[in-house]
Amino acid sequence: MSDKANYSSGWRLLRREKHPPRNDKKRKIMTTQYKIYPYRWVVLAVFMLVNITIQILWISYAPITGPAAAFYGVDDLQIGLLSMSFMIAFIPLSIPVSWVIDTYGFRLAVSIGAIMMGIFGIMRGMAGANYTLVLWSTFGIAAAQPFLLNTWTKVPANWFALEERATAVGLVTLASLVGTALGMILTPIFMESMSIPTIQLYYGVIAAVSAVLFIILSRETPPTPPCPPGKEARALMLDGLKHALTIKAFWFDLAIAFIGLGIFNGITTWVESIIRPRGFTPTDAGTLGALMILGGVIGAVVIPALSDKQRKRQMYLYVAFIGAVPGLIGLTFATSAILLFSSAFVLGFFLTSAMPIAMQYAAEVTHPTPEGTSNGLIQLFGQASVVFVFIMEALKNSDGTFTPALLFAAGLLIISIFLVSWMKDPQELIQK
């Protein structure tokens, strides 16, 4: 069957779902041909585990920027590049990796990424004080990231019911945040008794173990679909990509992903440098990052679950971006530890909760575009926000403070609120 025929078939199934047959008996048969399996939680758990470990590998240098720069004999920007390399590598790899996911399935794609993560994570730990080897090993880990991030909606689509999917994506987001928090908290603590290479070697071994567990325990699909006939139908990637890019609401979704992830990545990359001029220590930077992530963990569970329960996406995107503004303002000007840490928690709670809702919104509004394609584009725009990380460095004052950059970020949050006003809830969500 041709690509065009497959795509047309997907749209026929979608139209059939929106306009069900009048024969109630036939409708009853159609709606009982699917089942939700408990094993979905095992698949989700091992997928969450590999996302935890790659986030630890990503963020582990951020809370120790100053000490790491001294250890390797480089400047702060070169240490920041170890984090930014993940965003840089993501840009050319996202679309090809999405094709792999949509063509061969998430299990193979994630397995490839997890193996790369383990191998290069161990290599980075064995590189010693050689910054060049550390950088190239980091790019190897970074190349693995799209295989994991671009499947955030694919796994829930294969295993979870429609009304559970934003919650499942929220749990994957939670895992990502937990990994970031662990990297933020543990690295400064470990530095008191270990060398930087030893810490990285331990992280690499943990990544390798998580890769093995994923390969052993994950499954591509359940025995029967988790949703009514037609909801699982997807166009082929190229046609799906073309379709997604014709939807105006999806472009607004990409824009808010760019802004939201840009701010999150910028703050986590420069966290130690942001608060250093105010007299705070690397340990304080780890605490700030951890509290921001803790807020994000809670927000990523609570707000997407409410979004699923009430079947509303736009309203909760408003909540996320409006709520993030005071947190960011507090983070910009706080000079006391209490205000700084509480602002970080508020910012994390609201800003991070937007991501799973935005990704699930993309999957719904672009149907029947494959989840790997829509998710990949969201992640691509989010990682392309690496330019904002560079802008933050360029905007900092001569005394090293990041106040202009953080105020610029607050302005972008306000712009996001206006963009959300154009993102109406998908019709299938309203009619459900």
- CATH number of the domain bearing residue 398: 1.20.1250.20
For residue 297, what pLDDT band results from cuts at 50, 70 and 90? confident
Which has more confidence, 14 or 133?
133
CA 54 from chain centre, in angstroms, equals 11
Nearest to 92 by CA among 15, 39, 145, 169: 145
For residue 33, what pLDDT band results from cuts at 50, 70 and 90? low
Residue-wise pLDDT tens digits, 327-378: 999 999 988 999 999 999 999 999 888 887 887 888 788 877 766 667 667 7
Measured from the Cβ of residue 373, the count of other Cβ atoms closer than 10 Å reads 30
Domain-located, residue 190: yes
* Dihedral over alpha carbons 285, 291, 293, 295 (to 10 degrees): -150
For residue 18, what pLDDT band results from cuts at 50, 70 and 90? very low
* Sign of the CA dihedral with 170 first, then 172, 175, and 180 last: negative
Domain-located, residue 402: yes
Domain-located, residue 174: yes
DSSP state of 62: G
Residue 358: the pLDDT is: 84
Domain-located, residue 22: no
Domain-located, residue 75: yes
Residue-wise pLDDT tens digits, 122-136: 999 999 999 999 999
Residue 173: the pLDDT is: 76
For residue 231, what pLDDT band results from cuts at 50, 70 and 90? low
* Domains held by the chain: number: 1
Q: E strands within 274-402?
A: none
For residue 27, what pLDDT band results from cuts at 50, 70 and 90? very low
For residue 12, what pLDDT band results from cuts at 50, 70 and 90? very low
Q: What percent of the chain has pLDDT over 90?
A: 32
Domain-located, residue 2: no
Distances (CA, A) of 100 to 32, 40, 290, 347: 32, 22, 34, 35
Residue 249: the pLDDT is: 86
Which tokens hold the place of 113?
A: 């990424």
Domain-located, residue 179: yes
Domain-located, residue 30: no
Q: Which residues of 54-76 are buried (b: 16+ CB within 10 A; e: fewer)?
A: bbbbbbbbbbbbbbbbebbebeb
The alpha-helical segments, DSSP class H, found in 19-130 are 24-31, 40-59, 65-72, 76-104, 106-125
DSSP state of 38: T
Instruction: Provide the domain limits for residue 79.
Output: 41-220+229-431
Query: Cβ contacts of residue 117 below 8 Å, gap of 6+?
Result: 50, 53, 54, 57, 141, 144, 145, 148, 207, 211
Residue 13 clears pLDDT 50, i.e. is over it: no
For residue 238, what pLDDT band results from cuts at 50, 70 and 90? low
Q: Which residues of 319-351 are buried (b: 16+ CB within 10 A; e: fewer)?
A: bbbebbbebbbbbbebeeeeebbbbbbbbbbbb
User: Identity (one letter) of the amino acid at 250?
Assistant: F
